[in-house]
């Protein structure tokens, strides 16, 4: 186990941050000691504390966005949109908690009441990803804090500096240091955190493989909440499109934003065989115009590098494997600078590949599949163990109704990209994409549990059945 975690810029390889690995048991113990006082505060108190956090992030917007851009490699303009999402999450989560977990009292017999209220779980562990190192863990942490939980947050070992600044903002806003704890470390520290007896649940965003391992681990702990937000092998069906240029723009946005490092990125483009020519030409023209450069380049790039060399190497291996199986490149996946993890956007026809792997290619590779009719398009779209996002571009309202009714996914769009899901709606998938714990607006559901109480100001009770007559008791004794 390494004593320090070092973060480097994907664009340059330069070191930007380092810190000592933490102790999961100690962080959980600190959070557990601080939790009761935080939970005892009123909901309005906790919401106001989180509003101060939003203002703290707002005051650091430029600095924070610059750090995210440097640490992830994403363009600076995109990092700024991530900061905006962090800020907006507070009000969205407050509204969601009030709507999803309201206190209610119902009339019952003899003047008694039935009360429904919610309690926090206690200490929740949060494991964050590297692609949105502030926004995605924040989407767990803010709802958890509003509900009255304490949090131990382990950021990805690839983006620890962003995680550290996020926690610093919580503390600067006056949220007690014991209530939000930062655990620096790699996979071993993550496993140690997940195995702590002192946590009451774990909220995870990351790969399907890691999610499955956590699901197996938590199978023997049904008393702990587990919320999994995993990846996808997402289909985008383009059918009877009207505006070719707009369709091409949505395809490019779906496949290549964040260098394809989004769980909702389109991985498979499904088109009608023989009718795809003009659309493919329009997509290729846009691909050829995409600027791939470092985060602060001018003009601003559409794509930066992948997170690190290992990620770029792995994606290239998967791409070459498809070529070996018979795929035909329309635009190749090239490595402009061998020593850095930059990759160019790729479009590849995999129609003739019989044994296409059902996996999430986490990068700028879009696989095109030609099919004969719309029924075949739906069959192809559903040919996956995942079920996160799916889009239909084109078609009539009736065709979309058919698409919506038959597609297996938690996010289904029409004439919209696969990515860019709204935060004021639930977000989650089925199959290998999650465990039916949708996040975003529905995060309140897994951050608190309902408690039902039957209440009366006066004790009233009598047993009406199953007792002997008192007179019989007297006679028996005589």
**CATH number, domain containing residue 124:** 3.40.605.10
Average confidence (pLDDT) over 379-389: 98
Residue 301 lies in a domain: yes
Residue 1 confidence (pLDDT):
43
- Tell me, yes or no, whether 448 and 416 share the same domain: no
SS (H, E, C) the chain: CCCEEEEECCCCCCEEEEEECCCHHHHHHHHHHHHHHHHHCCHHHHHHHHHHHHHHHHHCHHHHHHHHHHHHCCCHHHHHHHHHHHHHHHHHHHHHHHHHCCCEEEECHHHCEEEEEEEECCEEEEECCCCCCCHHHHHHHHHHHHHCCEEEEECCCCCHHHHHHHHHHHHHCCCCCCCEEECCCCHHHHHHHHCCCCCCEEEEECCHHHHHHHHHHHCCCCCCEEEEECCCCEEEEECCCCCHHHHHHHHHHHHHHHHHCCCCCEEEEEEECCCCHHHHHHHHHHHHHCCECCCCCCCCCCECCCCCHHHHHHHHHHHHHHHHCCCEEEECCCCCCCCCCCCCCEEEECCCCCCCCCCCCCCCEEEEEEECCHHHHHHHHCCCCCCCEEEEECCCHHHHHHHHHHCCCCEEEECCCCCCCCCCCEECCCHHHECCCCEECCCHHHHEEEEEEEECCCCCCCCCCCCCCHHHHHHHHC
What pLDDT band is residue 469 in, cutting at 50, 70 and 90? confident
- Tell me, yes or no, whether 176 and 199 share the same domain: yes
Residue 445: is its pLDDT beyond 80? yes
Average confidence (pLDDT) over 344-354: 97
- Tell me, yes or no, whether 149 and 94 share the same domain: yes
Residue 43: is its pLDDT beyond 90? yes
Residue 474 confidence (pLDDT):
63
Active-site residues, by number, are: 229, 263
- Tell me, yes or no, whether 279 and 225 share the same domain: no
Residue 473 confidence (pLDDT):
64
Residue 370: is its pLDDT beyond 90? yes
- Tell me, yes or no, whether 329 and 183 share the same domain: no
Residue 182: is its pLDDT beyond 90? yes
- Tell me, yes or no, whether 69 and 177 share the same domain: yes
* Domain of residue 256, residue span: 234-422
Residue 436: is its pLDDT beyond 50? yes
Considering the entire predicted model, what is its pTM?
A: 0.95
Instruction: Supply the mean pLDDT for the chain.
Output: 96
**CATH number, domain containing residue 250:** 3.40.309.10
Residue 208: is its pLDDT beyond 50? yes
- Tell me, yes or no, whether 331 and 368 share the same domain: yes
Count structural domains, the chain: 2
The predicted-structure confidence for 237-283, as pLDDT tens digits, reads as follows 999 999 999 999 999 999 999 999 999 999 999 999 999 999 999 99
């Amino acid at each position: 186990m390494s004593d320090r975690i070092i973060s480097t810029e994907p664009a340059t390889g330069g070191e930007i941050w380092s810190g000592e690995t933490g102790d999961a048991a100690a962080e959980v113990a600190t959070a557990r000691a601080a939790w009761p006082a935080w939970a005892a505060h009123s909901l309005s108190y906790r919401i106001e504390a989180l509003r101060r956090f939003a203002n703290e992030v707002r005051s650091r917007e430029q600095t924070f966005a610059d750090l995210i851009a440097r640490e992830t490699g994403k363009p600076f303009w995109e990092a700024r949109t991530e900061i905006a999402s962090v800020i907006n999450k507070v009000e969205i989560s407050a509204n969601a908690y009030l709507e999803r977990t309201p206190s209610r009292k119902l009339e019952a017999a003899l003047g008694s009441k039935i009360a429904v209220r919610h309690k926090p779980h206690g200490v929740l562990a949060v494991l964050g990803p590297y692609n949105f190192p502030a926004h995605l863990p924040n989407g767990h942490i803010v709802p958890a804090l509003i509900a009255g939980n304490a949090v131990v947050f382990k950021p990805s070992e690839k983006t620890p500096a962003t995680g550290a600044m996020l926690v610093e903002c919580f503390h600067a806003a006056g949220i007690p240091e014991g209530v939000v704890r930062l655990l620096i470390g790699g996979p071993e520290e993550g496993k140690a955190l997940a195995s702590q007896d002192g946590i009451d649940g774990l909220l995870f965003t990351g790969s399907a493989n890691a999610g499955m391992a956590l699901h197996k681990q938590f199978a023997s702990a049904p008393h702990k909440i587990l919320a999994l937000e995993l990846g996808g092998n997402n289909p985008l069906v383009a059918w009877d499109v009207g505006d070719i240029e707009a369709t091409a723009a949505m395809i490019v946005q779906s496949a290549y934003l964040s260098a394809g490092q989004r769980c909702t990125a389109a991985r498979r483009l499904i088109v009608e065989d023989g009718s795809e020519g003009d659309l493919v030409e329009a997509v290729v023209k846009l691909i050829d115009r995409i600027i791939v450069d470092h985060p602060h380049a001018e003009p601003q790039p559409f794509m930066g590098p992948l997170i690190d060399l290992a990620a770029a190497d792995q994606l290239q291996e998967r791409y070459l494997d498809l070529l070996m199986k018979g795929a035909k490149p329309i635009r190749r996946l090239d490595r402009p600078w061998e020593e850095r993890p930059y990759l160019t956007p790729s479009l590849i026809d995999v129609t003739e590949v019989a044994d296409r792997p059902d996996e999430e290619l986490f990068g700028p590779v879009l696989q095109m599949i030609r099919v004969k009719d719309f029924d075949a398009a739906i069959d192809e779209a559903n040919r996956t163990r995942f079920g996160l996002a799916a889009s239909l571009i084109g078609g009539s309202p009736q065709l979309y109704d058919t698409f919506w009714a038959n597609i297996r996914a938690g996010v289904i769009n029409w004439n919209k990209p696969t990515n860019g899901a709204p935060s004021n709606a639930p977000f989650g998938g089925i199959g290998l994409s999650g465990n039916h714990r949708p996040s975003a607006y529905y995060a309140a559901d897994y951050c608190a549990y309902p408690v039902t109480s039957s209440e009366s100001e006066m004790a009233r009770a009598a047993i009406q059945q199953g007792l002997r007559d008192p007179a019989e008791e007297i006679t028996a004794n005589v």
